[in-house]
Amino acid sequence: MIIVTLYVKKNHAASEQVEQDLKSLGNKYPHQVAVIDVETAPELSAAFSALVPVVQIGPYKLQAPITRRSFRWLWERPATAVTT
Q: Which DSSP letter does residue 80 get?
A: H
Domain 2-82 has CATH 3.40.50.2300: no
Strands, sheet with 54-57, edge to edge from the N-terminal-most edge strand: 31-37, 2-8, 54-57, 60-63
pLDDT digits 0-9 by tens, 18-35: 999 999 998 888 999 999
Q: What is the largest CA-CA distance in the chain?
A: 35
Amino acid symbol at 13: A
CB 51 within 8 A of CB 64: yes
Indicate the pTM of the whole model. 0.83
Chain-centroid distance of CA 77 in Å reads 16
Residue 54, φ and ψ in degrees, nearest 5: -125, 135
pLDDT of residue 84: 39
pLDDT digits 0-9 by tens, 47-83: 988 999 999 988 888 998 898 888 888 777 755 444 4
